[in-house]
Structure 1
Amino acid sequence: MNKINTKLALKYRFFHPCQQQPINPACWQFQIRTATPADLISVSQIIAESFHSQQGIWGWAFPLLRLGIYEDLRHRMASPPSRHICLVAFEATTGAVNHLVGSVELGVRYSDSWSQIGMGFPYLSNLAVHPQYRRHGVASGLLTSCEKISRDWGFEDLYLHVLENNHQARQLYFKLGYRVHKVESNWNKFFLKRSSQMLLHKHLSTDFTI
């Protein structure tokens, strides 16, 4: 069972990625806890690998993008809003060295730019899973933990963004009960040929069978 605890996970190193080994689903387990400042390097690496390519013409910019993610995380952890949390998933298999395999952030946002959303609402961001550990329930576990925290904060709704062309992520969110609230178009879609963002919403009082 997933648990939010305060154990410290082993950090990834920016320039020394972990060795890739096949995962045996029968014996592999993970747990979830609140992130600590000591996790920043690992979380930054996982997010960067999930959202930015190290290959191609822009591969040279990957270390700079990763550093920017690190600094943003460090700033939020140093002075977090009253309702903000970063969760990390770490490998907890017996006999293995614990290390981070995924992360997510949850906070309360205040905005009047999205129609039909109240003054304050929980918003999920930076959901990322290490490539080696995808499709093993890590993302679902992180999402479920965020939903529980949102309920504990007194909310019944949760929002997040996903790119319209990110079909794998959309499939996961729809499976977990998220629905399209709004498709946001902007000039980047036309001039830079970037995908539109979809604002998804889930009513947390509704139970879904996975």
Structure 2
Amino acid sequence: MINKFEIKEMTTDYIDGVMVVENLSFKIPWSRQAFVDEITTNDMAIYFVALCNEQVIGYGGMWKIFDEGHITNIAVHPEFRRCGAASGIIERILEISETKGVKSLTLEVRKSNAAAQNLYGKYGFKSEGIRKGYYSDTGEDALIMWKHGI
């Protein structure tokens, strides 16, 4: 288990490492180009990486849309889960949200992903709805979670 990592803004320099985490974490991963586009051309997007010895061990990001934020994804390399990296990413997203005037944050999480739901709950996110059949790989429902009063 590690106890030292740092959270930095994602740049294209980190895309190779992000893709390793992405491919290990999701059955239907985002493409390399999707990440490049997010951080180079999407003015709403804000992404971070968690690094341990300059290796990408996790990443996460959000879109800022007026005074709301939508957390698009958070993932941590399987070998580094439960070391605090996801918490560090969430905390950085909350910090940047506050400085940029975001009043509420939302995200979707698999109904079966109790660990992620508990983590988000620790930061004040509450389930406020369901998106039926949201995940195309399995047809699983997503819980819609919100945190108000950032």
Q: TM-score, normalised by structure 2?
A: 0.88
Cα gap change, 1:187 to 1:51, in 2 (>3 Å): closer
> 5 Å matches for 1:49-198?
49-52=24-27, 68-81=30-43, 83-91=44-52, 97-109=53-65, 121-186=68-133, 194-198=139-143
**Could you tell me which amino acid in structure 1 is paired with residue 60 of structure 2?**
V
2-structure distance, mates of 1:187, 1:173: 19
User: Which stretch shows the higher mean deviation, 170-179 or 31-40?
Assistant: 170-179
Match of 1:41 among 1, 8, 16: 16
**Could you tell me which amino acid in structure 2 is paired with residue 135 of structure 1?**
R
More strand, by proportion: 2
Q: TM-score, normalised by structure 1?
A: 0.65
Kindly report structure 1 stretches of 4+ aligned residues shifted beyond 4 Å: none
How far does the alpha carbon of each residue in 1:54-111 deviate from its partner, in whole angstroms, 9 at most, with x for none? xxxxxxxxxxx55x52111112223121x321100101xxxxx4211110011124xx
5+ residue gaps, structure 1, are 1-22, 53-64, 92-96, 110-118, 206-210
Secondary structure in structure 2 of the residue aligned to 1:177:
coil
**Are 2:127 and 2:144, in contact at CA under 8 Å, matched by a contact in 1?**
yes
**Are 1:147 and 1:204, in contact at CA under 8 Å, matched by a contact in 2?**
no
- Count of paired positions: 150
**Are 2:103 and 2:148, in contact at CA under 8 Å, matched by a contact in 1?**
yes
CA radius of gyration, larger in:
1
Partner of 1:61 in structure 2? none
Percentage identity across paired residues of the two chains: 23
Match of 1:201 among 128, 131, 146: 146
**Greater relative contact order (Cα 8 A, min sep 6): structure 1 or 2?**
2
2-structure distance, mates of 1:75, 1:187: 23
Instruction: Confirm whether residue 30 of structure 1 aligns to residue 5 of structure 2.
Output: yes
Cα gap change, 1:41 to 1:202, in 2 (>3 Å): same
Secondary structure in structure 1 of the residue aligned to 2:139:
coil
Instruction: Compute the RMSD of aligned alpha carbons.
Output: 2.2
- The structural deviation recorded for 1:201 is 0.4
Secondary structure in structure 1 of the residue aligned to 2:147:
strand
